[in-house]
Structure 1
């Protein structure tokens, strides 16, 4: 009786056990037809030579269809309750066209991560397997599992890709350029994973349609299909709550909306307390604006919050047309106040960071071989900071900082699939940037200290590019790209050639080589005006003569890949030469605000080793790099180690699935970053005397993370589903040093009015997190 009840329950829920490991798609479809009593109609040429990997103890028909669509270039259309049509995905852009008939590695490190023929890595949050320390997908933090991607600051948005800096990454959300990508000063990604369809990550061999960045490209695409019925979900963890809704208004029109909001301004959870300790340490907030170490400080205001909202409209007027409107708004606000009773000093700091964006896209297929994409976008970034100190007798001082970016543009991208082996894309882009930043200081006790620095620049860029690709399945891949930019501010024209070649040496072994030249005219510079505040001390600025140079890089990458019998070994050797760096963009403590121009040389090796055994996966990623700076007026023009240079990094992860439970464990190790040692105070008694720049290194860093999730059905019909999750960051509570600097403090000793204080910023301590979700 128990057996028949169990069988009846499974049939009623229309869910079954699935285990496909590189199974031919034709066999998968036959198996699905039997298990769900349905029929597929398709052209056999569409599914030849395609295979599927999907492992789940209990899965619905829609789960399997979604997995097949994410791993192939196919889409399913429901003709009736029992019959489905399968055809090639429409509205393909260059990225999917480069894929043609196959994905080289459909499960690069875990489910939901695949590596395409063009060298890009694509993450699909909906099917992404459990990752160490994460109970739900974080759009940016998930990338840190890849070799060559580092985060020496322990933030999700502070990604250093192959020695590059975070501001050298181009991050797009539905075609909108994003200039603030993190909540809570980078500890949480600013992008909602539950409405994110794919994240395409390029570290080399980048398509010529991407420009104005010299490191990586992270192209985030949100959900863009008209669903058959209303779908949604809501949930919370120990820092924020969220909800999303996908609503079909008609068969051709749908709305997709999402919202996330922190609740830590009302409930101070243990998770948020640990994150706060990590973020605010050694800042004005953590120290209460103390003049002397023994000052008594009273907190008068304590408020921090973040939120993000998205709204998207999808319209398919005909089979070959798609019109999509996307919008995104992110916000972070900090408001802190202190009172030092002994000096009757009232201090207040208010920081607002906003990023707004809009995009409108029209995709049109003229035929199976020719299509276009026309897109317009608008992005607005605003940072406003004001710090005030009020004293008796109406005395005060005020520090202000403002940074505004207005970025808008339009582009047309055409794609022509000449034949099965050749494809060509041609495009044009026009973008306009207006970037303002201002720094100010006002003091009515010393009016001569009044200070204001305003920088306002505008630039428009005209771009034409072309991509050509030749592909012989399982034999050759040759990609050639050329991009030309004319920047109005610098009145210069730049050419960016791109080359990617792949050749199969044998069935499981492939060799690859990539060459590219890149430029970047918008970067972040270090400002010293708000250094005492200790947070967000960088501002965006356009490249301009004698102040912020244009950054230029040449990149070479040579690699090999082995993929067979559950094993995946990927090795990349790379060398990067970057010019146009400045001491203001890199920030050297010992040089202060003095300007100097220089370059960097980076060489490294990325290694990924992965093995899958049934429900168990393990992967190990290792990166070794050498990064040297050379500046004309620093360190006697001799080379020195670059900031945040990590010589060795190792990440070893494990995941295991047991029925409805998923477990993951990961250990990471890296060598310490360089720092400049302070030798003491100079003869004037208040200036710091430094040793050679970046001549010392911090101790090594290591951490163990754990996570587990449990998925369950709330309703018998599988309409409502739930998930519980638990994660533990830094299981053994290792406090590693992330940075070390020095500051001059006032002394109570009249003979030595100043003393040198060394300060260190330590890593996040043991931090648990819980998540509960409901989806329908």
Structure 2
């Protein structure tokens, strides 16, 4: 319902209770246009009737209020003004539907040849088709105000109103303009620390076995390590909320042994859930993604565990102030081996300084820490996490290799609270799990032809329960994701210069969101399933002199939500590199990508206020398929142990909702649809010697939203960090490694309430906060210094060991990560500040055998 109508209705309701003797609305004659939806609501109150309609069909229609007191005359007048059909079902109920039209057209290129297979989409509706062999199309029963989007590979998208294509003979001709693109090049380097390499396609490769040291890190935590790279940060200091070039965490495709992961963190995001010592390599792709990858409009983070057999047993065990873990590989036969890893927190056995800092950081905004009462409260919390993995390696023969992988991740919290004054007890439980299994078969049929088959199943659950003993109220919530997928890849090598890859991928994703409240009674159980069929093909080319490298491909997705829509999404990809001079290379990457799963953010302190994000599916109504376009161009120099890289990028993402972006003002629950645009610059300079590595990184982002239904419609993104700088050094002397670093970034945007008495709107029930313009304020700048130290030594000839110590936020800087506002029981505004980790020590010991 429109805001203007709500204000009118509240005023009318107040008069009703004051007068108490009659029910009427006085309407003055006016010649100004008013929203049709608002006027229909007025008619419902005046004549005690009910209209049934689809909000989005009528929300843009405005009419002049008819000058009549007769309902029949009023409805006929509205039909004439707005081109709607109003039909009476019975004495009280009416339906309001849009007048529909039939459209047709012929899509042509500049030579007037028909374009077969052009994608015709009706925006804001679940209607799509493709053109026939002569380029023509024909669509029935669409609204006259609908907008058609016409797409064809290699041509610019074309938009046209439906009322310009009304069915006539001959149909209207539509000429598409071709797209002209200039492509450029790429590079490969060791930089920052050992084990980090920049590859030819501009992706970053992390080899955990060769990993050195980074400031604040004494273990190669995968998702913490990648945040040392330009353009990759976590706005809230977690590994479960990684922002790549201004995108949200759910826009990252995280793969473990080819399996899509829906949970990535322990301790509610403060620790990576993946064992870094069993992980062999990690690839991070920000742009120019291979056509073999779907999902992840912001990035791909691909982790691969050790994949080769060993004829000897090897492994490692270690402990730090948070957890203990073990991993190993056991040779069973000369063709079969088994890998395993396990990790469990020690936090339910002993409290360490690290645990206390992590606990305060994770739970600072939950009911565990929200004790605004003078009563005596006894609290007891039991928190722990664990993960374990297994992998069976079977070399069938020299040409075929079969692998089975398994991973389980679990976070458990039990919280009990007893009020000694009132004898009231509360019990809350929260469990977050991810269970995945997969199989991979690689076959080398001959020297030139290779195939891979990858199959997996993954299940994610987020379950919470809250029970109060002296009341009938119970709250239960569930979020479950089930995904099954199969991918077939083939690779054919024509020569040392040219390779051709093709493939097919099928995935089925089902998501359930369940909520049950006993007082007041409320129950919701939503389920959805999306199936995606994708075909992809790409060529890899390298020139004879190795100066030019290029990868170009295309991915075609057929996406089907079994309840709401079917859609074809075409995604071209390109990645190029060219060596200008001996030490100078330039690169260009471009891609179209899409994804059908997103995380909505629940900010009503559900899930104990800790894990507020729930996975949901696109339905093309309340939440469309998220689609992105990205292009970047870079230049780099590497000579005499000096690396300098500069890259500019542009990214456009549409199909986002205020529910998925973490708004914390009046827009957070509206579900408005919009888009964001990011343009930025990433700079890195790294000077290396045999023992010393110094680097400086700088990232500039201009990240802005556009939501046409909000006012203002254009404003800074919630993740708009304009400036980010890192200054760091690592030093190695024999068995000793030392890392120090300083991280700075400008403050994130947030929204303040209005000043004075205007801050609270008392004309609504419940009262709400009146805010200033969205994201019109900025938090203070963020500054943190970290240090780390590692020492390697031998226990025996076969057993090596490492001891490490680190301190995060050495100077105990008070950094505000987020600020938002809420009303307390007295309807007074409370300011909530989420603070970063304070000074946080960590000590570890690890033995390798």
TM-score range (shorter-chain normalised) is: 0.7 to 0.9
Task: State the partner residue of 2:822.
Answer: 743
Partner of 1:517: 592
Equivalent runs, 1:275-424 vs 2, <5 Å: 275-287=358-370, 290=371, 292-299=372-379, 301-391=380-470, 395-424=471-500
1:438 partnered with 2:519: no
Q: Would you say how many aligned residue pairs link Structure 1 and Structure 2? A: 654
Q: Distance in 1 between matches of 2:762 and 2:386?
A: 49
2:768 is aligned with 1:687 = yes
- 1:318-346 Cα deviation digits (max 9, x unpaired): 11211111000000001111112333321
Partner secondary structure for residue 222 of structure 2:
coil
Superposed displacement of residue 529, structure 1: 5.2
| Aligned counterpart, 1:91 | none
Q: Does residue 187 in structure 1 map to residue 267 in structure 2?
A: no
Aligned to 2:501, which of 422, 425, 429? 425
Cα deviation code 1:650-696 (max 9, x no counterpart): 11111011111111011100011000102332224832121111110
Whether the 8 Å CA contact 1:657–1:663 is kept in 2: the answer is yes
Q: Distance in 1 between matches of 2:606 and 2:311?
A: 53
Go from structure 1 to structure 2 and tell me whether the alpha carbon gap of 1:699 and 1:493 turns closer, same or farther (over 3 Å shift). same
Matched, 1:644 2:716: no
SS at match of 2:472: strand
**Are 1:588 and 2:663 an aligned pair?**
yes
CA distance in 2, matches of 1:543, 1:365: 38
Matched, 1:762 2:835: yes
**Structure 2: 5+ residue stretches without partners:** 1-185
Q: Compute the displacement of 1:532 (Å).
A: 8.1
Aligned 8 A contact 1:141 1:157 in 2? no
- Structure 2 length normalisation: TM-score? 0.76
Cα distance per residue 1:274-318 (max 9 Å; x no partner):
11111111211112xx4x44333211x310010000011101121
Q: Deviations over 1:454-490 (max 9, x none)?
A: 2100111111101101112541112111001101113
Q: SS of 1:251's equivalent?
A: coil
Q: Which residue does 2:531 correspond to in 1?
A: 460
- How far 1:539 sits from its partner (Å)? 0.7
Name 1:629's counterpart in structure 2.
Answer: 705
Alpha-carbon distance between aligned partners in 2 of 1:232 and 1:367, rounded to the nearest angstrom: 34
In 1, Cα distance between the equivalents of 2:364 and 2:509?
35
Q: Quote the residue 1:484 is aligned against.
A: 556
The superposition leaves residues 44-88 of structure 1 with CA deviations (integer Å, 9 ceiling, x where unpaired) of xxxxxxxxxxxxxxxxxxxxxxxxxxxxxxxxxxxxxxxxxxxxx
Give 1 or 2 for the bigger CA radius of gyration: 2
SS in 2 for 1:272: helix
Measured in 2, the distance between the counterparts of 1:569 and 1:387 equals 54
Q: Which aligned pairs between 1:210-225 and structure 2 lie closer than 5 A? A: 210-225=293-308
Instruction: Using the TM superposition, give the Cα deviation of residue 530 of structure 1 relative to its aligned residue in structure 2, in angstroms.
Output: 4.2
Q: Tell me, yes or no, if the aligned pair for 1:549 and 1:581 is still in contact at 8 Å.
A: yes
Summarize the alignment of residues 532-543 of structure 1 with structure 2, pairs less than 5 Å apart. 533-543=608-618
Shift of 1:216: 0.2
Separation of aligned partners in 2, 1:528 and 1:730: 28
CA distance, structure 2, for counterparts of residue 294 and residue 686 of structure 1: 25
In the alignment, does 2:151 pair up with 1:151?
no
Q: Distance in 2 between matches of 1:682 and 1:296?
A: 34
Q: Considering only aligned residues, what root-mean-square deviation do their CA atoms show, in Å?
A: 1.5
Any gaps of 5 or more consecutive residues in structure 1?
A: 1-102, 444-448, 747-752
**Any conservation in 1 of the 2:430–2:607 contact (CA below 8 Å)?**
no
Which residue of the partner structure matches residue 665 of structure 1? Answer: 740
Secondary structure in 1 matching 2:317: strand
Secondary structure at the aligned position of 1:144 is classed as helix
Looking at structure 1, the residues matched to 360 and 321 of structure 2 have their Cα atoms a distance apart, in angstroms, of 15
Kept after mapping to 1: 8 A contact 2:187/2:577 = no
* Cα distance per residue 1:729-762 (max 9 Å; x no partner): 111110110000112112xxxxxx3321111011
The CA distance in 2 between the partners of 1:243 and 1:225, in whole Å, is 19
Deviation at 1:109, TM superposition (A): 2.2
Distance 1:570 1:378, change over 3 A: same
Query: How many angstroms apart in 2 are the aligned matches of 1:429 and 1:474?
Result: 32
Aligned pair in 2 of structure 1 residues 523, 339: CA closer, same or farther (>3 Å)? same
Contact 2:366 2:605 in 1 (8 A): no
